[in-house]
């Protein structure tokens, strides 16, 4: 069993930390808002007073935070993770952030004698609870193998993608497809509905068809009844779409469906829907089609 640290205990980060606790590891955690992590403290997690303290008390310290700026906020400065690293320790960033920043951060971690991996996950709250997340990892092969048993407690499929920054690049490539698929699904539902087929029946048929990817299978029903709490809100998804578009320009890959979907996410924000799950793309398209949105739960 390892001495682990976890910084960033939101919906997904908190769920990952709980899986590590359940696997028998000792976990010291920190979150910007302590109240949101109290349930983990009650479950046996130790509390660190700063990201630095978490890193000092851990062999392997994880982060899962909102964006590149948030990664910098918890790694830099006198109270940051970098200040708490020492030779032999491993820092694992599970955030979806800038690959360029991830590579630069890995170099700074190496200067402290420690090692860094970028290890974002593919999945949702549901797949996390089911223990079916997949983990993509960027960094040195020897470090990946050292940390692999811990990563497998998070999700059973751990794939070493390549060097530092490669896994978060792959995560961006995955995430752009989530919103694009959701928009395409919404188009199909609305086309059927305006042609006289009840929305519920259209959803039933599409979810029983070959287009029902795992993401569509668990998020498609949101067009009928949206969750009380967003699994992955519009702002978070648009952050990832913008990362994809930035990367596409850098490597000369056109991303036309990403760009079009991103504009509808902007429309969602303009309609005051930024904190809703990104499945609210359906509501935006429904409004443009002259149809009512999905009923909120």
pLDDT digits (tens, 9 = 90+) for 205-246: 999 999 999 889 989 999 998 888 888 999 999 999 999 999
Domain final residue, candidates 162, 180, 204? 162
CB 58 within 8 A of CB 33: no
Name which of 7, 11, 19 is nearest 43 in CA terms: 19
Mean pLDDT of 31-43: 94
> Domain check: are 174 and 151 in the same one?
no
- Classify residue 277 by its DSSP letter: B
Q: Is the pLDDT of residue 160 over 50?
A: yes
Kindly state whether residues 26 and 138 are assigned to the same domain.
yes
Same domain for 152 and 181? no
pLDDT-based confidence at 130, cuts 50/70/90? confident
Question: Residues 175, 138: one domain?
Answer: no
Q: Are residues 271 and 196 in the same domain?
A: yes
Whether residues 136 and 226 fall in one domain: no
Is residue 285 within 8 A of residue 261, CB to CB? The reply is no
**DSSP β-ladder status, 121-122 and 134-138:** antiparallel
Does residue 25 share a domain with residue 147?
A: yes
- CATH number of the domain where residue 150 is located: 3.40.50.720
Is the separation of the CB atoms in 161 and 173 below 8 Å? no
Do 66 and 22 belong together in one domain?
A: yes
Please give the pLDDT value at position 129: 82
What are 59-104's pLDDT values in tens digits? Answer: 999 999 989 999 999 999 999 999 999 999 999 999 999 999 999 9
27 and 146 share one domain: yes
Angle at 13 between CA 7 and CA 18, to 5 degrees: 100
Structure token digits, residue 265: 């996410």
- Does one domain contain both 183 and 132? no
| Residue 87: domain span | 3-162
- Cα 254 from Cα 180, distance rounded (Å): 14
* Mean pLDDT (whole number) for 23-42: 95
pLDDT of residue 226: 86
Domain count, the chain: 2
Query: Of 162, 183, 203, which one is at a domain's C-terminal end?
Result: 162
Q: What percent of the chain has pLDDT over 70?
A: 99
The answer to whether residues 64 and 94 touch, using CB atoms and an 8 Å cutoff, is yes
From the list 232, 247, 245, the residue with the least C-alpha distance to 278 is 232
- In terms of Cα–Cα distance, which of 286, 260, 256, 259 is closest to 271? 286
Give the pLDDT of residue 52. 98
Q: What are phi and psi of 57, to 5 degrees?
A: -95, 5
Structure tokens that stand for 52 in this block = 């630095």
Alpha-carbon dihedral angle through residues 43, 133, 97, 78, given to the nearest 10 degrees:
30
Per-residue confidence (pLDDT) for residue 125, from 0 to 100: 78
Q: Do 179 and 101 have their domain in common?
A: no
- CATH number for the domain including 251? 1.10.1040.10
Rounded to an integer, what distance in angstroms lies between the CA atom of residue 144 and that of residue 224?
42
Q: Is the pLDDT of residue 270 over 60?
A: yes
User: 144, 162, 180 — which closes off a domain?
Assistant: 162
8 and 150 part of one domain: yes
Q: Which of 2-11, 127-136, 193-202 bottoms out in mean pLDDT, i.e. has the lowest? A: 127-136
Mean pLDDT to the nearest integer, 153-175? 95
Q: So which residues are the catalytic ones?
A: 171
pLDDT at 297: 34
How far apart CA 208 and CA 210 sit, in angstroms, is: 7
Residue closest to 109 by CA, chosen among 60, 152, 177, 170: 60
End-to-end CA distance of the chain: 41
């Amino acid at each position: 069993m390892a001495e682990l640290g976890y910084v960033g205990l939101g919906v997904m980060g908190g769920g990952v930390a709980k899986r590590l606790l359940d696997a028998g590891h000792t976990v010291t955690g920190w979150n910007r808002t302590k109240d949101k992590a109290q349930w983990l403290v009650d479950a046996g997690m130790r509390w660190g007073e700063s990201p630095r303290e978490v890193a000092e008390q851990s062999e392997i310290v994880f982060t899962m935070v909102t964006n590149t700026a948030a990664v910098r906020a918890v790694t830099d400065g006198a109270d940051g993770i970098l200040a708490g690293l020492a030779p032999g320790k491993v820092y694992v960033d599970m955030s979806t952030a800038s690959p360029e920043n991830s590579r630069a951060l890995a170099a700074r971690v190496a200067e402290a004698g420690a090692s860094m991996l970028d290890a974002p996950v593919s999945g949702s709250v549901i797949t996390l609870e089911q223990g079916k997340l997949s983990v993509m990892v960027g960094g040195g092969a020897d470090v990946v193998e050292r940390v692999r048993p811990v990563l497998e407690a998070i999700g059973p499929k751990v794939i070493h993608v390549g060097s530092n920054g490669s896994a978060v690049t792959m995560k961006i490539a995955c995430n752009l497809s989530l919103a694009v698929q959701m928009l395409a699904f919404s188009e199909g539902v609305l086309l059927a509905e305006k042609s006289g087929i009840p929305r519920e029946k259209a959803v039933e048929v599409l979810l029983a068809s070959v287009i029902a990817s795992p993401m569509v299978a668990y998020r498609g029903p949101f067009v009928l009844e949206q969750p009380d709490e967003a699994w992955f809100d519009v702002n978070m998804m648009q952050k990832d779409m913008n990362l994809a578009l930035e990367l596409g320009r850098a490597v000369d890959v056109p991303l036309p469906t990403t760009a079009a979907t991103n504009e509808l996410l902007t429309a969602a924000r303009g309609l005051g829907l930024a904190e809703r799950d990104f499945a609210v793309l359906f509501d935006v398209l429904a409004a443009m089609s002259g149809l009512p949105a999905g009923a909120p739960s």
